[in-house]
Structure 1
Amino acid sequence: MLKIDTHAHYLPRDWPDLAAKYGDNRFAVIHHGDDGRHRIYKDGKFFREIWPKTWDPEERIADYARFGVQVQVISTVPVMFSYWAKPHHALELHQSLNDHMAETCRTHRRHYAGIGTVPLQSPRLAIQELERCMDQLDLQGVQIGSHVNDWNLDAPELFEFFEAAQDLNAAILLHPWEMMGTDDMPKYWLPWLVGMPAELSRAACCLIFGGVLERLPRLKICFAHGGGSFPYTIGRIEHGFNMRPDLVATDNPRNPREYLPRMYFDSWVADPRALRYLIDTVGVSRTMLGTDYPFPLGEQEPGAGIAAMGLSQAEQERIYHGTALEWLGLPLSRFA
């Protein structure tokens, strides 16, 4: 059975050192040590260690083959979004990442599809790069963050970008980044454990209550990490909508639950009971395999959560590849 991992992060081994070029240490830089370790630094401090499988397409293919997964939908690591940067500086980085990703997809067409990245702090440049990703690089869409500096995703400044994405039939992967409350919870990795799920609920609620999904019914957005806390608090969100429409329904009068059939979710929720709830709530037609590869917080055995669900053959086919192909706008023959 074809299995497509829709949430798999990817970086080149090296990328432009914009911290040095522009004198801004907020840009992520990579150091390859004599000890064989590969470390990302940001703000002049250690951020994360990565490994060759982050950038080596052949090693990734072999790694995935152990679990019967044939295809990865690759996207950058959110630290590279750089929405805080000057737009043209960020565009330089995004273009470099997108060019590298496109080359991997061209040379390993049966094993990779690509979701690019755009400088959303400039919606005009973001649309320009989205068009290049789709029309010139043969990528399937772009990954975006859960907010853009002071803009939530209902910001009027971002609507033309989403409109362009719908017009281009682009797949959007929505990933948490710059997690809320980071300064207030520095211990225990809480920004990743608590902030990440909240970021996705924040993004989903803004897209719904701000009317973005209402005005753009063909917009194809997949929420990483199973939608974070959003699907699991939809009851509370709906209750708030019903009981205090004066506060909640100020920009969109439709019940938020009505939008679940328009949203996609990856399957990585780290708990079989949570995955069962997600499938029961949004359906197999809205759920797709996703692992957060190759990082420790991701699913260490790709597809294991789905395999444990006791799903029918048809349901497994839908979650393992059918939903992903619909979201990506690709035929099954692409990976045959």
Structure 2
Amino acid sequence: MSTSLVVDTHAHHVGAHAIERIREEGAGHRVRLVTQEVAGRPLTRVEVAGRLSGLPLLPRLSDVAARLEWMAEAGVDVQLVAPWMDLAGYELDPDDGLWLARVQNDSAAELRAAHREFLVAAAVPLQHPGYAAAELRRAVTELGHAAVQIGARVNEVGLDDPSLDVFWDAAEELDVPVIVHPAELDVPERSRRLFLHILVGNPSETTFAAAALLLGGVLERRPGLRVLLVHGGGFVPYQIGRLERGFTAAPPQFRAKGTRAPRDLLGQLFFDTVLHDDAALRHLVAFAGAEHVLLGSDYPFPMRTDRPLEALDAARLDGDLRAAVLSAAHLLGAGPLSPRPPSSPSAPPPRGRGARSTG
């Protein structure tokens, strides 16, 4: 594979295999499919721990032929597919959450085995960090997954909570990028009006998560950790000065847990291009550096960028910057040259980016 291949680093997938497993076994794990008549047609949602998914189970989440057709039209060669965050399952008991993560990871591994156009980000039951670390290890070393996706928080627990250390340690050891993506958890009705829980809530949640990583010591203690913030990084590129000021000006009881200022840690953060605004994308590239901005689409949801390459071109970046954005997936470690082949469960995971396969 050539490094010139175009990689879409923000897309979601729910495999047909996973849907069937949920249909057949999910009720025993507090996960089930619920079909309702809406405007005279049946729509299926997924109920997790008694909460219905915000959107129906969109056919394009599972339709591989339609996905490949879209990729061809959009000029995308490789797509890094991640789970649908409505199926994060953080509200489930740990054993049930582990079941749901494994079902999704096994299903995504089938997609990867059948179609080399796809890389896979793992799901993990982060409500039990020990289970999450173990499932991440299985997904990477046995299934060949190239990344992991987590929510911006775990119910009311922030990403800097000490209980999550075992997960963060595993992610650094396995040398896989962590995609932070908001999960639709408890959203008040005042936020649902006008689609605000998606339009404003998602970037806000991402900002909370990024601040926790920057100020909470997570990145400082793990210099090898790489984190991709979706939707252009929320408000971080615009409010980094506020985080910097808080690093020195916050009252003692609220002071940052680390010793390095947020700007000093930005090299561990990556951002996607899903911004829907040319000027905002230019600002993001100037803020983060083109090598830390990755092409993304958010396929197949309503807020997706239908033609991510065209959106990148519309920002009118010079040729070197455009090329750097298209190469950034490789620097993150989620490019076509990066995924390691599945290995024996007993084999230790390779350490360092140099250990990655070029197959």
Q: Would the TM-score normalized by the shorter structure come out above 0.5?
A: yes
Inter-partner Cα distance in structure 2 for 1:30 and 1:226: 33
SS in 2 for 1:16: helix
Cα deviations by residue, 1:197-242 (Å, 9 ceiling, x for unpaired)? 1101100111111101000011011011111112211122222324
Tell me whether 1:55 sits opposite 2:62 in the alignment: yes
Runs of at least 4 residues off by over 6 Å = 32-36, 333-336
Q: Name the structure 1 match of 2:349.
A: none
Question: Which of 218, 241, 245 lines up with 2:247 in the alignment?
Answer: 241
With 295-304 and 31-40 compared, the bigger mean Cα shift is at: 31-40
Inter-partner Cα distance in structure 2 for 1:333 and 1:74: 15
1:324 alignment partner AA:
A
Q: 1:278 to 1:180 in 2, by over 3 A?
A: farther
Tell me whether 1:196 sits opposite 2:202 in the alignment: yes
- Counting only pairs closer than 5 Å after superposition, residues 187-226 of structure 1 correspond to structure 2 as 187-226=193-232
With 57-66 and 200-209 compared, the bigger mean Cα shift is at: 57-66
Q: Name the structure 2 match of 1:80.
A: 87
Question: Which of 252, 257, 267 lines up with 2:258 in the alignment?
Answer: 252
Tell me whether 1:65 sits opposite 2:72 in the alignment: yes
CA contact (8 A) 1:61 1:70 kept: no
Q: Name the structure 2 match of 1:178.
A: 184
Q: 1:130 to 1:333 in 2, by over 3 A?
A: closer
- Counting only pairs closer than 5 Å after superposition, residues 114-129 of structure 1 correspond to structure 2 as 114-129=120-135
Cα deviations by residue, 1:99-154 (Å, 9 ceiling, x for unpaired)? 11111111111x11000100011111111100111100001121000011221001
With 275-284 and 254-263 compared, the bigger mean Cα shift is at: 254-263
Inter-partner Cα distance in structure 1 for 2:242 and 2:89: 33
Tell me whether 1:311 sits opposite 2:311 in the alignment: no
With 227-236 and 245-254 compared, the bigger mean Cα shift is at: 245-254
Q: 1:30 to 1:102 in 2, by over 3 A?
A: farther
With 234-243 and 138-147 compared, the bigger mean Cα shift is at: 234-243
Q: 1:45 to 1:8 in 2, by over 3 A?
A: closer
Inter-partner Cα distance in structure 2 for 1:228 and 1:29: 31
Inter-partner Cα distance in structure 2 for 1:5 and 1:146: 21
Q: Name the structure 2 match of 1:284.
A: 290
Q: Name the structure 2 match of 1:29.
A: 33
Question: Which of 9, 15, 20 lines up with 1:6 in the alignment?
Answer: 9
Percent of aligned positions that are identical: 33
- Counting only pairs closer than 5 Å after superposition, residues 128-167 of structure 1 correspond to structure 2 as 128-167=134-173
Q: Name the structure 1 match of 2:99.
A: 92
Q: How many residues align?
A: 331
Inter-partner Cα distance in structure 1 for 2:295 and 2:156: 31
Inter-partner Cα distance in structure 2 for 1:330 and 1:269: 21
Inter-partner Cα distance in structure 1 for 2:9 and 2:97: 25
Cα deviations by residue, 1:252-310 (Å, 9 ceiling, x for unpaired)? 23221111121111111111111111110000011000111111111122222211122
Question: Which of 236, 260, 270 lines up with 1:264 in the alignment?
Answer: 270
Inter-partner Cα distance in structure 2 for 1:317 and 1:248: 41
1:272 alignment partner AA:
D
- Give the alignment's TM-score, normalised by structure 2: 0.85
1:82 alignment partner AA:
G
Q: Name the structure 2 match of 1:39.
A: 44
CA contact (8 A) 2:121 2:149 kept: yes
1:267 alignment partner AA:
T
CA contact (8 A) 2:330 2:338 kept: no
- Give the alignment's TM-score, normalised by structure 1: 0.90
With 171-180 and 45-54 compared, the bigger mean Cα shift is at: 45-54
Inter-partner Cα distance in structure 2 for 1:150 and 1:280: 33
Q: 1:245 to 1:277 in 2, by over 3 A?
A: farther
- Provide the aligned C-alpha RMSD in A: 2.5
1:245 positional shift? 6.0
Tell me whether 1:327 sits opposite 2:322 in the alignment: no
CA contact (8 A) 1:163 1:216 kept: yes
1:156 positional shift? 0.3
CA contact (8 A) 1:99 1:137 kept: yes
